Amino acid sequence: MPYLNVWSSRSSSSMLPHMDSELASSSNSVFTWRRTESWVLACNLSHSFRYTRNKTKFRKQDCCLSTEFFPFRCEKKDSFGPCFALTHASEEQAIDGDVIKHNSQSFHCVQLEEKGVLTHIYDDDDGDVGNEEDEAGRVKGDKVDVRALAQSLHFVKTADEVDEVLKDKVELPLQVYSSTIRGFGKDKKLNSAMALVEWLRRRSKDNIGSISLNVFIYNSLLGAIKEAGKYDFVDKVMDDMVSEGVHPNVVTYNTLMRIYIEQGRELEALDLFKEMPKKKLYPSPASYSTALFAYRRLEDGFGAITFFLEAREKYQNGEIGNIVEENWEYEFPKLENFIIRICYQVMRQWLVKSESSSTDVRTNILKLLTDMDKAKIQPSRAEYERLVWACTREEHHVVAKELYNRIREMDTEISLSVCNHIIWLMGKAKKWWAALEIYEDLLDKGPKPNNMSYELIVSHFNILLSAARKRGIWRWGVRLLNKMEEKGLKPSSREWNSVLVACSKASETSAAVQIFRRMVEKGEKPTVISYGALLSALEKGKLYDEALQVWKHMIKMGIEPNLYAYTIMASIYTAQGKFNIVDSIIKEMVSSGVEPTVVTFNAIISGCARNGMGSVAYEWFQRIKTQNITPNEVSYEMLIEALANDGKPRLAYELYARAINEGLSLSTKAYDAVISSTHAYGATIDLNVLGQRPPEKKKRVQIRKSLSEFCNIADVPRRSRPFDREEIFTAQTKGT
């Protein structure tokens, strides 16, 4: 019985249509791979044969037929060889730059391809076979140069042209014609393949030669059509098979399934698989792998698992795998590896498709992983890690965490780069505490974190500290600093400054002082931002003398004040009524190259307003114009409040009207101050000029003394116990 066989050479596995035991016993054939990437067939036959139409006999002859096969320019594959399903599965490995290498456990389905109905009877009778010589040198003594012969057929387009080349040549074995036809397909020379088949048909009808059209020739032609991608000829070939009375075999169905898959007709390919048992044909391992590949193309991992489970049940029950030559015991484990590979590829494809719904992707992947667990088929650590790399969007963090947990449960090593990727992804999804858990695992279980791990987790702490700083949640800032030190992460000035600013915004003067001291004790040099935050906290606590000491210390340390520091000092001296020093600060700013801004003057005007100095506030408002600075809403609002409280409702009214004319939108508080002062002092104003009462403005920053809302924002666990102010101090400080 004819079938395809595989022999291993030093360079690669190779394929040859090969007769079963009768002919195989008298031949020794090996493919080798040349540097030109060409297939070379070396065939040493100890027996020649004469083939009749009804019956085949082989007779001994003292000659040797040595052949070579011409180049097909086919790409070198894995150990799958020419098996379509797994060859194409290997091609599918290259998805968005992700190239996967197969090991020696690849699925050798080529050995199972050709299980035909044509039989050959070996006979020891002698017979004569004429040895013809080709004057062109293609037949030399008892050798036929098939490579040169095939090259001469390479450009033929009709059966007549084939006849011109082959009419005087020695008749070749069936496998040579079959391989030549397939070779033409690989070279995209389908016209040459069709012409050769038509020539064989003519000779068969005219009873010329020993070769007749059979299922192997037609299978080779279908394979050539698949290789050439000329699928329009499939129906014609199938019609010819019917007209010639040639019955399709398993290989025919396998090839048709492959063609349908290439055409995007995966469901029809699966229907062909279901049709095989109805035709009394037993699907081979190649059939099952091709059907699985159809599910891969459909991206139906669930259907692939269901199909595999049915196949495994049939195999375990002895319903399939009874053909000894198919060696199911050897092939089924490879089929199991293949279904794992398919599920991996399907999940990866779900992840990389941007148009996929995030919820559906997460749900489908988690469900497919669960189904794989139930089917007792588990991807390898490498496949889990490659899936982690495919998780790049925020919504993938759930999948990435599940894959991470699965790798950890396998009690195997995990790549540090994969852990870093998950830490990055958790931060992108704003799951910073989950990222910290990954980092803690690196410290406890390994692998040892590197600089990238350190930088990633510190960046996540910075995000949390920034959130705490903006909201004035200084307690969480302190706890985050403690957590960093607990995990061996040294906070930099940036982290310390975030907590200092949070303390300043929350008017936590004592906490700011302690954090500043702790920062210095830890060997971190304070920056101008550190001093500015501390000065602001001291100002809000009305600790003006201490603020002056901090200012002098900053100058002594060589830290040049910035606009913020100058502004705070101007506000401090304004609160003390030392306007001569305030004026000196403004002059010093100009001489130092730090130009005062509207923020600086607003701080001075606000200080005057808080301390009931409306007239002085108006003077500084007038100085804004001399500095070529345009007052903003805050300037007008603070001045209007100061004048209204100072008993000057008419001036407050005029300033409000001026601000409206300048297109500024003042707050409700300023409007109410004008109305209240007018009523209190009996002033007469035109309410039409003021217009309607402005709507309430939402506060931009709300200082929160509670941690509950921050826990929700930052995705961090809540703590039931109240904040202990001793947490501000370091362990060394508490121990002294």
Q: Hey, what CATH class is 248-379 in?
A: mainly alpha
Phi and psi for 147 in degrees, rounded to 5? Answer: -60, -50
User: Edge-to-edge, what's the strand order for the sheet holding 56-67?
Assistant: 27-33, 39-51, 56-67, 121-126
DSSP conformational letter for 124: E
CA distance 320 to 281: 12
Judged by DSSP in three states, 351 sits in helix
Tokens 């304070």 correspond to 526
pLDDT at position 505, please?
A: 93
Q: Above 90 in pLDDT, residue 632?
A: yes
For 497-553, what is each residue's pLDDT tens digit?
999 999 999 999 999 999 999 999 999 999 999 999 999 999 999 999 999 999 999
Q: Domain 598-705, what architecture?
A: Alpha Horseshoe (1.25)
Of 97, 98, 104, nearest to 78 by C-alpha is 104
- Specify whether the CB–CB gap between 107 and 86 falls below 8 A: yes
- 601, 623 contact by CB (below 8 A): yes
Nearest-angstrom CA–CA distance, 535 and 528: 10
Q: What are the pLDDT digits (tens) for 458-487?
A: 999 999 999 888 888 899 899 999 999 999
Provide the pLDDT for residue 15.
Answer: 35
**Residue 585 predicted with pLDDT over 90:** yes
**Residue carrying structure tokens 């101007």:** 570
| Two structure tokens written together for 124 | 């020891």
Q: Residue 525 phi/psi, 5° resolution?
A: -75, 125
Tens digits of per-residue pLDDT, 150-173? 788 989 999 999 999 888 777 788
Structure tokens at 64: 């040797």
Q: Extract the tokens encoding 685.
A: 């104003």
- Lowest-pLDDT range, 199-213, 332-346, 567-581? 199-213
Residue 338 to residue 341: CA distance in whole angstroms: 5
With beta carbons less than 8 A apart as the criterion, state whether 438 and 405 touch.
no
Q: Is the pLDDT higher at 260 or at 150?
A: 260
CB 423: neighbour CB atoms within 10 A? Answer: 26
Tokens of 480: 């985050």
Look at the alpha carbons of 569, 575, 576, 581 in this order and tell me if their dihedral is positive or negative: positive
Looking at the predicted structure, is the pLDDT value of residue 238 above 90? Answer: yes
CB 51 within 8 A of CB 72: no
- Which residue, chain included where needed, has tokens 């300023």? 670
Q: What angle do CA 81, 87, 90 make, to 5 degrees?
A: 125
Neighbours of 349 (CB within 10 A): 17
pLDDT tens column, 65-108? 333 333 333 343 333 333 333 333 333 433 333 433 333 333 33
Q: What is the pLDDT of residue 151?
A: 87
pLDDT of residue 195: 95
Q: How far apart are CA 566 and CA 536, in angstroms?
A: 11
Tens of pLDDT, residues 1-39:
333 333 333 333 333 333 333 233 333 333 333 333 333
pLDDT band at 145 (very low <50, low <70, confident <90, very high): low
DSSP sequence for 4-51: EEEEE-SS-EEEEEE--HHHHTTEEEEEEE-TT--EEEEEEEEEEEEE
| Strand 56-67 with 39-51, pairing | antiparallel
Q: Token pair for residue 294? A: 């159809």
At 94 the three-state DSSP class reads coil
Residue 736 has pLDDT above 50, yes or no: no
Q: How many helices (H) and strands (E) does the chain have?
A: 34, 8
Question: What pTM was estimated for this model as a whole?
Answer: 0.68
User: What pLDDT is attached to residue 12?
Assistant: 35
- CA nearest to 725, candidates 521, 513, 467: 513
Decide: helix, strand or coil at residue 65: strand
Instruction: For residue 564, give every residue at least 6 positions away whose Cβ sits within 8 Å of its Cβ, in sequence order, or none.
Output: 528, 529, 532
Q: Which of the residue ranges 122-136, 153-167, 377-391, 412-426 would you say has the lowest mean pLDDT? A: 122-136
What is the tens place of the pLDDT at every residue in 186-218? 999 999 999 999 999 998 888 887 778 899 999
The position carrying tokens 């779900």 is: 350
The more confident residue out of 421 and 205 is 421
Phi/psi region, residue 583 (left: phi>0; alpha: psi -120 to 50; beta: rest), is alpha
Write out 547-612 in H/E/C secondary structure. Answer: HHHHHHHHHHCCCCCCHHHHHHHHHHHHHCCCHHHHHHHHHHHHHCCCCCCHHHHHHHHHHHHHCC
Q: In the structure, what pLDDT confidence band is assigned to residue 368 with cuts at 50, 70 and 90?
A: very high
Pick from 252, 344, 248, 333: nearest CA to 285: 333
Sole residue written with tokens 């913020």: 564
| 694 vs 531, residue with greater confidence | 531
Q: What percent of the chain has pLDDT over 70?
A: 75
Contacts by 721-726, CB closer than 8 A, 24 or more apart: 723/475, 723/478, 723/479, 725/511
The pLDDT of residue 698 = 62
Residues of the chain with CATH 1.25.40: 248-379, 598-705
Alpha carbons within 13 angstroms on the beta-carbon side of residue 244 total 22
> Do the beta carbons of residue 106 and residue 86 sit within 8 Å?
yes
The percentage of the chain sitting over the pLDDT mark of 90, rounded to a whole number, equals 61
235 CB-near residues (< 8 Å, 6+ apart): none
pLDDT greater at residue 586 or residue 152 = 586
Provide mean pLDDT across the span 291-308. 98
- Answer yes or no: is pLDDT of 421 > 60: yes
Structure confidence at residue 708 as a pLDDT band (50, 70, 90): low
The pLDDT of 331-347, averaged and rounded, is 97
Q: Which helix (H) or strand (E) holds 143?
A: strand 143-144
Integer CA distances (angstroms), 146 to 40, 203, 618, in order: 10, 20, 107
Q: What is the pLDDT, as a whole number, of residue 143? A: 56
Q: Compute the distance between CA of residue 626 and CA of residue 636 in angstroms, rounded to an integer.
A: 16
For CA atoms 351, 357, 363, 367, the dihedral sign is negative
Q: Distance between CA atoms of 680 and 666, rounded to whole angstroms?
A: 21
Q: Which one, of 3, 658, 689, 694, lies nearest residue 323 by Cα?
A: 3
6 strand-pairing partners: 15
Separation between Cα atoms, residue 273 and residue 283, nearest integer Å: 8
Least confident of 29-33, 219-223, 337-341, 698-702: 29-33
CA distance 87 to 81: 7
Least confident piece of the model among 115-119, 220-224, 343-347, 400-404? 115-119
Average pLDDT of the chain to the nearest whole number = 79
Structural tokens at position 68: 């070579």
